Structure 1
């Protein structure tokens, strides 16, 4: 017998099998998953990695040891959602995350044009939230501090001695244009911080490439589910494109906040013709770059049929660069000497916030119309709110953005005004725009109205728990009834059943918020005064109600923001609280960043490629079998 024949007749070589353990939302350490504290990292990094027990590190070299049993490995990804303490700061990005979820709440539809229109509307809504956040930062830094507080000698000189160099007669920086230019560095730095966080997470999450061959659209079948499409988990190009557009929009917002009051002065009797011409030129360029930002946001959406990793270099680099150059030009123009210019009243922020709020409302209504159209063409009884789940979530994101921006402005204004109410007669400062005060005033009525459905859901849950507890003992014949345990089981079941009613609660919140927001916008534009002043002369009852709503809303919106920050600070220090926030991110950041690039990153765009690479790498290299053991 030849040597080759003897080898063919001998026992077949052992083929390894692999069991890949993947923990759930609560997270677990490699030692807990593998049942051994001695582990070694096989692939990955400090954020997400695959581990083995130390004794299994050389399993490929000794397959005979694993006859009849697989090699256990553990994929740990909990740091993608609840990693270090800095993740607690992601709470400030909550409106962006909610706006991103509106994209994924779109009803299934068969009209490509309507689907594209829905995506464009969601991206425009997300862009308006970025502009709103930066505009709120401009309101605090430019209007309240640099324009009102520093412009009033009593505020800057007595209460804030550190701002005395900005007060009238304080030196070179005392001119209003130079004060605005200096204060503009704050919202510009905030825009840069958002860009940095988005770019850093983009490099760690969306930049993961797919395995070779998996992105070939010719090999994909029409029967492949949506989450298995070649480009579903690879959004590198879109996020980079949107990040450039939103960064440019933030910088343009700062530039407009400085340019508008400067140009208004230059066009007055005391303005210089040369400065007026420069102002017209810069504002024209700002309009051109803003149109380019809108085109970049509307032009391209997600591409899921293939994993497209080609970056739009022109949009990614030129757009933020052009916006930054324009901002520098505007700041230099504002710092030019303008003798006799004084700051009085408010900056023209009422119109800006009003246009933003009106635009968001119209965008949500248009989104609702498109969603209903899609749902009617392909009705599905399981679709939330009859197809209106996406618009409801989008409205919720706008409400969160409005509360956060209005809360910061109102809280800072109350702090600067001491014991006075900003915007009322006798107050040292005019305060924030009237619309932000109206937003605060509608918060107490909103909470009162929402208390009704909340109470109804609570009563319903208590009744369901009592009804379930009575029948749980019958499900265990022959066992001694345990009342407390039966009630705990009934409570868990009733709480799980309430999640089916969550879409209706979100819909009620969104609908009521839309109506009250429209009332606040009408009150601010028609009355032109804060609620208490607008109600003056209408009778003691209405005056008292308006004053109570304004004071309570100002206190609630400030308290809510402080509580929000305190929760984030606690999560920064407390790992258990950080895990709770991690669960929130696990629910909210499962989906890719399809609408807002500043939202917390999608952990699945890192986890899915990690698992895909490990699976294909193992089977292609060893030819062995693989079992996924997943939890939650």
Structure 2
């Protein structure tokens, strides 16, 4: 869903007549394509060689012209919602939480509620209760999300309270024991800052509603083509879960701080321990209560009238969720901080680190693995639509559990990277021996992540090569881009592979730790394994470099220079691993002299450094934020019903804003929505919610509607949603795609899909409006609209009984 840098579009030639020209509203994809690019105001057009790329570096005399002026060409720009503010650069810290939230939307269990029945007012209709399966799936995902938050809290506590406060300041510098308590307070401050970061957002222009006034849980009930308004107007579930996550994080920090291992002040420590246990128990009970209840409210708030409280059926009281968990969590944290003042000098000298934090990694890993496995079992399978053959090996049931494991792994990797670098920098101040110790857990994490990276990369490369060697029906071998697209057609196999490898590695690590009483030293890795992993990664890097240089048509001297440089770096790495020699650069061994150090650099330190560098660049540059914003454009489309600390969603403004724009179309006006990539998801969702006063049409190109969203979110982007959109538009929907596009694809409706476009210039996912078929599709949709205006047919609400869209007020989620 990359942003496409448009140049000149041929435009609908058939539209040049005496009638009013059609309004073509272009909706961009990810990365926030600037409006001036969508409107073709910047680039000139080459006229002498239309088949050549629009550049001027071939040494020939060229002829150019100004782009055509089309006042009816409009640009719908929504990219600033995810990359317009400086603080959005820090959303990278929230990446594990975003993935945990996506796992809930990737569940196979689709919403049980169908279209509302009856003929009375929409607010008074009966809605069927969500089923038992979807309730348990929602509960399990939310419990896994709590574990991901706990992992973040423990890594924060390890860095601040253990490495810095205890090991460096208390043991090495001789500061008093209460410094560790101050470290607990700083850890709590970091957690509060993360909660604050997840809350701030650009405020909607409409009236703000108290989020606690809409206390419902629409998870597992609302969908795109029926009862969509709760998706954009259910703030209560987000603020309620946010309060529970904060309490759970503070309770976990207090529990580790009060664990009876340091002696002294037993009364304070015991009281704090019980307060922490009570906090975690209350959070677990309330999470179960919310998730297993019916959760549906009597209706939606009327934005034109006074706000009224909405209470979901069976949900716990608002006051209990709002104020029932944070007081014991705060008390437990205060008691833990006070208890550290009794740590004596003898105990400090005998313990190089706080033992409770080291033991938590094993049990958290086991808990995440068990909950993820339960998610895969409980969610069931996909029921194929009537007339659709079932998939023989449907791996989509692995998406939700695999994404949960990936969220936990990324959170642990970010924490491990920061912890390792802090330990190296702090250890450089010690003259004799290391004064800050992280432990072998980080080293083994790095080795496992590096090995999984090598294995997945090797499998993908072999599959891609196999697809390149298999001839097509015409006897020719598919190009590289076509082979790549074949890998993404059913991309669930990749998440299933990641989940399987991660589960096997976690199970093996837990078994070894329990059998031995701890992990073995990282030097125990066999030489054959380390050599295979390092060699595989070097070969994959060279292959990716060669493919990138060939795709970008880099000149031969430049390509040779880059290749020689990469080979030289690889040779230096191999030499360092064989000789055991390296140099310290900011505490990091470069080149790494052992396999453990190599894994640490590849899987932990380098990604962490790139994340921090990208955050720094994104604070200063909008362009850099757009690059990072690709993650949020895709991941924050969904409301935060499963992990409330994910970055704020933008769809409550983008979807409802585009819906209002469509409903503002004047009767008789010819209006075509032309949406690219992620914009097609926004446009399709908005059209499902809109009730325009005149017929409109939709043109999608490079759309992941079915290709990716139908694969990873089958409970929402299913055949029912596609059929509903086709019916809403009365078949005024045209979809363009290329067989080289790894992101866009068909929607599998013969009335919608055109034939796959040829791609002789390897434009892949961009520049669809340069193709002649684009102008033809716009002209065809224009004729369909004019015909519908002249010969009106019953609207979708009259044909299907679907009620008019109820206006909603975007609120903070």
In the superposition, the TM-score normalised over structure 2's length comes to 0.56
Q: Is the 8 A contact 1:375 1:386 kept in 2?
A: no
Evaluate the alpha carbon distance shift between residue 346 and residue 29 of structure 1 in structure 2; reply closer, same or farther with a 3 A threshold. closer
1 CA distance for matches of 2:532 and 2:180?
37
Deviations 1:535-569 (A, max 9, x none): 49xx9989999994433222222122112322333
Aligned counterpart in structure 2 of residue 585 of structure 1, from 632, 639, 662:
632
**1:18-37 superposed matches below 5 A:** 21=25, 23-26=27-30, 27-29=32-34
Equivalent position of 2:417 in the other structure: 407
Q: Is the 8 A contact 1:531 1:550 kept in 2?
A: no
SS of the equivalent of 1:108 reads coil
Aligned counterpart in structure 2 of residue 361 of structure 1, from 353, 362, 369:
369
Aligned counterpart in structure 2 of residue 555 of structure 1, from 601, 604, 608:
601
Q: Is the 8 A contact 2:35 2:75 kept in 1?
A: yes
Deviations 1:514-537 (A, max 9, x none): 11122223333433455437849x
1 CA distance for matches of 2:77 and 2:523?
58
Equivalent position of 1:331 in the other structure: 337
Deviation at 1:377, TM superposition (A): 13
Evaluate the alpha carbon distance shift between residue 198 and residue 380 of structure 1 in structure 2; reply closer, same or farther with a 3 A threshold. farther
Q: Is the 8 A contact 1:354 1:521 kept in 2?
A: yes
Evaluate the alpha carbon distance shift between residue 339 and residue 534 of structure 1 in structure 2; reply closer, same or farther with a 3 A threshold. closer
Equivalent position of 2:748 in the other structure: none
Equivalent position of 2:441 in the other structure: 435
1 CA distance for matches of 2:72 and 2:527?
78
1 CA distance for matches of 2:397 and 2:424?
42
Equivalent position of 1:182 in the other structure: 182
Evaluate the alpha carbon distance shift between residue 190 and residue 203 of structure 1 in structure 2; reply closer, same or farther with a 3 A threshold. farther
Give the length in aligned residue pairs.
524
2 CA distance for matches of 1:377 and 1:471?
35
Deviation at 1:238, TM superposition (A): 0.9
In the superposition, the TM-score normalised over structure 1's length comes to 0.71
Alignment of 1:96 onto 2:102: no
Evaluate the alpha carbon distance shift between residue 624 and residue 152 of structure 1 in structure 2; reply closer, same or farther with a 3 A threshold. closer
1 CA distance for matches of 2:150 and 2:654?
31
Q: Is the 8 A contact 1:19 1:626 kept in 2?
A: no
Structure 1 unaligned residues grouped into runs of 5+? 1-15, 38-68, 154-166, 169-173, 217-221, 421-425, 473-486
Equivalent position of 1:258 in the other structure: 257
Moved more, 394-403 or 610-619: 610-619
Moved more, 598-607 or 431-440: 431-440
Deviation at 1:366, TM superposition (A): 0.9
2 CA distance for matches of 1:604 and 1:543?
45
**1:50-199 superposed matches below 5 A:** 75-108=76-109, 112-153=131-172, 167-168=173-174, 174-176=175-177, 178-199=178-199
Aligned counterpart in structure 1 of residue 503 of structure 2, from 508, 514, 518:
514
Structure 2 unaligned residues grouped into runs of 5+? 1-19, 43-69, 113-129, 302-308, 312-317, 534-592, 668-691, 704-813
2 CA distance for matches of 1:91 and 1:385?
29
Q: Is the 8 A contact 2:168 2:436 kept in 1?
A: no
**1:103-502 superposed matches below 5 A:** 103-108=104-109, 112-153=131-172, 167-168=173-174, 174-176=175-177, 178-201=178-201, 225-226=224-225, 228-260=227-259, 263-266=260-263, 271=264, 275-301=265-291, 306-307=299-300, 310=310, 312-335=318-341, 342-343=348-349, 344-348=351-355, 349-372=357-380, 381=391, 385-418=395-428, 427-429=433-435, 431-460=437-466, 462-463=468-469, 490-502=479-491
Moved more, 78-87 or 606-615: 606-615
Deviation at 1:241, TM superposition (A): 0.8
SS of the equivalent of 2:494 reads helix
Evaluate the alpha carbon distance shift between residue 447 and residue 613 of structure 1 in structure 2; reply closer, same or farther with a 3 A threshold. closer
2 CA distance for matches of 1:73 and 1:209?
32
Is the helix fraction higher in 1 or 2? 1
